[in-house]
Amino acid sequence: MTTRRVENMAGGEGHVIIKEILDEKALNGKCGLYAEVTLEHGCSLGYHEHHNESETYYILSGEGEYNDNGNLRPVKAGDVTFTPDGCGHGLRNTGLEDLVFMALIIFD
C-alpha cells in the first residue's frame, strides 16, 4: 500500500492523507481510486466535480461537513455518500479527531 500526503487537495485547506488500498494495476482500468483517506483536524478536501466517473465515501470515524453538489450536511461514522457522474462534492473535518473514510472512484 502506498501512502501519500497531498497539500490543498482540490483547493481544500491543509492536507489529505491517502492510503491506496489497491494500486493502478489491481484497479485494472475499472476504478480510479480505492483508498483510506484521512482529514486531520482543520483540514478539508475542496469541492470538485466528477466527469465520466462516480465517487463513494464510507465514513469510518470522525465527523465532518459534506458538500453534496452545493448542499451542506453533517456526516459521521457509518454514513455513506455518493457523487454521480457530472456532480460535485467536498468534505471538511469539523471535529477534533481525524475524519477517516474509504473512497472509491468507479469509471462510467
Domains of the chain in sequence order: 2-107 (2.60.120.10)
Mean pLDDT score of the chain: 97
Q: How far apart are CA 56 and CA 88, in angstroms?
A: 12
Residue (of 17, 45, 34) closest to 107 by Cα position: 34
pLDDT digits (tens, 9 = 90+) for 60-84: 999 999 999 999 999 999 999 999 9
For position 19, what pLDDT does the model report? 98
Instruction: List the grid coordinates of 9.
Output: 487537495
Query: Does the pLDDT at position 1 exceed 90?
Result: no
